[in-house]
Structure formats: structure tokens, C-alpha cells
Amino acid sequence: MSAVPKELNHLPGADARELVRAHPIRSVYVYEAPVRVWHWINALAITVLGVTGYLIGSPLPTLPGEASDHFLMGYIRFAHFAAGYVFAIGLLGRLYWAFVGNHHARELFTVPVFSKAYWADILSMLKWYAFLIPQPNRYVGHNPLARFAMFFVFLLLSVFMAVSGFALYGEGLGMGSWADRAFGWLIPLMGQSQDVHTWHHLGLWIMLIFVILHVYAAIREDIMGRQSVVSTMISGYRTFKD
């Protein structure tokens, strides 16, 4: 039996022995404060955009009384546009931090697709999520599969949603507005306004599926994996269980 250090003598015997046998927790500072703040503000913006976007595409039933007495759809559209600004500006800020932050801040924008080891790690993670292997490898930043999904699903979809959203916003502001001049080219490129509306609305459902899988994977890793995930995006530190 291991000897109990003097500084633990004030604890009950069983507690002191458990502390002696316990493994020290190793942690690595991964996500800097701007990345964490962006993550949670972005999550809130996506939630508002998703709810209001759905209501814009599938409006609520008509309210009683005169139309002039209500401004419900106006409030919904305002919330959607405001969240869209937060979402787009956040993406630009996140891009800036990829240049000035640590190397983990750049993982969202780069994928080592020409690395054989990277694809082997993706296969390993697929086996892990399919319950075919007992435990995954340990990763300090994003695991390879998460990195792939963040770039090819979240990032590319986010850019499309921002560009198409401002293109449609420019229609409301009118021809010659800043949004029309900057993003109006997308509408004739994709065919017509209704085509952009349709693809923008479809993007909502793709983002919703991504968010569900993202939350599931994060909570699953916290419970079954070898390192912290959810708490890491709060504290910035990745802790390892073994």
C-alpha cells in the first residue's frame, strides 16, 4: 500500500488512499478566449437564424384583427437580419484570429487532405463512432473527422448561407444598395430569386443536421472518449483521462 503524504493526513483514510492512487490530470491550453467567445455567440446566432428562418419560410397563421395592428413578421425578420449580421461578422473575426491566434485556431480553415495518416485517422474515428473499436486516439485539437466536418460542412455552408442571405437581403434594401452591389450577383448566377431562397432554406436543414451531430459527438466524447470536449470550449483547456 502506498504511503500517505503528510499533507493528506487531514483526510479520512480511504479518501487519502484514493488520492494517492489517482492519476494526475494532464491538460493543454487549446482554445483561446476569442475562439471560445466566437463559438458560443455563433451558436446563439445560428439558433436565432434557424428559428426565424423556418418561420420566414413557413409563416405562422394569420393573426386576428387588422394587419396594421401587428408587426410579428417584421420582428421575426428583424431578428433574422440582426442574427445574420452577427453571424457574418463573427466569421470574419474568426478568420482574422486564424492568422493571429495559436495553431489550433487555424484548424477550422485547413484540412490536410494530402496526408495519408490523416485519412487513416479519419477511418479510425469512423470505427470509433460506429462502436467497432474500444477507444479512439487522443487529439489535442479537433479530431480528424471533426476537422473534416467543420471545414467541408460547417465552414463552406456558413459562407454560402452568409452570401446568399445578404443577396436576398439586398432585394429588400433595393437595387443599388450595398448588399445588392456586393452580393446581388449570386441571384442571376443561380437562376432567379426563388432559386436562391430554395437553396438558402435547404441550407437551414443541412446546418440543423450538422448541429445535431456536432452536439451528439461532443457529449459522447465527454462520456466515452479519452479527453474533454464540452468543458474545453468553456475553459480552453483540454484534459485527458488517461
- pLDDT tens digit sequence for 100-128: 999 999 999 999 999 999 999 999 999 99
Which residues form the domain of 36? Answer: 30-240
pLDDT per residue over 186-242, tens digit each? Answer: 999 999 999 999 999 999 999 999 999 999 999 999 999 888 999 999 999 999 887
Length of the chain: 242
CA proximity to 133, closest of 147, 142, 120, 150: 120
For the stretch 50-67, pLDDT in tens is: 999 999 999 888 778 887
9 located within any domain: no
Q: Is the pTM of this model over 0.85?
A: yes
Confirm whether 13 is domain-assigned. no
In a domain, 6, yes or no: no
Q: Is residue 184 domain-resident? A: yes
CATH of the domain at 101: 1.20.950.20
